[in-house]
Amino acid sequence: MSATAKVSAELAAKIERLDALLDSIGARHEQVKFASSLAAEDMLLTHAILSRGVKIGIFSLNTGRLHAETVGMIDRVRERYGYEIEQYHPQQDAVDEYVTQHGLNAFYESIDLRKRCCEIRKVEPLNRALAQVSAWVTGQRREQSVTRAELHEEEQDAARNIAKYNPLADWTESDVWAYLEAFDVPVNPLHARGYPSIGCEPCTRAIRPGEDSRAGRWWWESRDTKECGLHISTIPVVVSSAGVSA
């Protein structure tokens, strides 16, 4: 029995659309990369890309503050798919300056200091990773948080002047886990310990019953500030029968 035979007809249709979209992205862009957090959604996309040989490079941001379990997923991808995920690290001098001026865990003190830490450890490395590409792919979903409720499948990243794709925008959490189970995709062991959304270790906790999937991210802040700066300044792309336009 094939993996797709193990899922519902509705999810099978989503998988077919996902595969077609990834193929289209790989064909439309000479240089395109997928930014993987190594969490559930991104492992789904990793499998969809690598198992089918789609021409989309995969990288991850190694912030220096990740859980050991997250870093360990690099090895699991290598073992399963024979692929080495490219890692981008923060500039050490910027990290040292932040720690010297504010302290190692100053991000707990204010939103500005937290965002500055994210800028150093995540945004600047992301900008380097995307410097030579014409498009990038993410594992974001609308269901994840209020800050992503208006997420579009195709967008224009205005800040970087490149295309941006969110192929799982309309997928539910149950869709994601049904796919992972059907295709026996390796997953971060932290998910089984109550971490549906995984970021840096000091900024992520397990969620409580009834909380939304991103409640454990920057839990000391309000719901509408819970982004790190990676996903900003995007313009929806309208898809019509005549083609794609911003």
Q: What are the catalytic residues? A: 228
Distances (CA, A) of 45 to 10, 33, 183, 222: 18, 12, 12, 29
Could you identify the residue written with the tokens 């990773």?
Answer: 129
H or E element in which residue 243 lies:
strand 243-245
Give bridge partners of residue 238 from the DSSP assignment.
245
CB 32 within 8 A of CB 24: no
